[in-house]
Structure 1
Amino acid sequence: MLLYKTKKIQPEQGNRLLISITVVGSAGPIRFVVNEKELVANVLNTALKNYAREGRLPVLGSKLNDFVLYCPTVASEDLSPWETIGSFGVRNFVLVKKPQAENSILDRKQVDMARKGAGSWRAWFNKSLSRKIASY
């Protein structure tokens, strides 16, 4: 009796691509293999996980909504998370962190402080001493 190896028939998944994602502010690109029919959101999630796993700097975080993926050779607009990664015909991408609303909150606080005035010199002196002690 002959034994045959049976191959599992897998559904056709499309071609695999080796993509390179450059993170702004990082030393080098992240490279990994993805299916060309993979959604941009899934690729972005994988890139953030690989970035964190490799212990790269600067630390980015893991919230998908805080980041945008660009294709610098095709268009200057960010990629929609619902498009497939293979639809662009390129393999190099750029990952950028979206500007956060925290910066606008800090700017508002600074504007409010400027409107109120500098205050007394004693308040300024005490504030500057507390900064020096805290950093000591």
Structure 2
Amino acid sequence: DTEAIRKDFPLLDRTVHDGKKVVYLDSAATSQKPRQVLDALNTYYERHNANVHRGVYTIAEEATALYEGARDKVAAFINAPSRDEVIFTKNASESLNLVANMLGWADEPYRVDRETEIVTTEMEHHSNI
């Protein structure tokens, strides 16, 4: 039921261009967040906002536990061996750039260098080019 799903995303309540419902297709750059995520973020920023892995005070320890707990949940969801296999990035551009940079340091046969031929199209995300 797409209407029920749309109700979870507040931005999709908007109308544009003579009253037409918003359709958002730029999720690689910035995804829309469902109400549940917005509520969780709001709680985090109101109650636990502190540097992760940087402080030895209560709020920083809570923030670190929440961060690592999220990595645990993602690892379980994608069936990764551990949370050490999970990293968070800001967006698709940062993620793709990270992968591209790592491939230059990878061991054979995964290393990419000036001799490597890479095939792509003009339709790719800009970070792939």
Report the TM-score when normalising by structure 1: 0.25
**The structure with more strand, counted as a fraction of residues:** 1
Higher relative contact order by CA 8 Å / sep ≥ 6: 1 or 2? 1
Report the TM-score when normalising by structure 2: 0.26
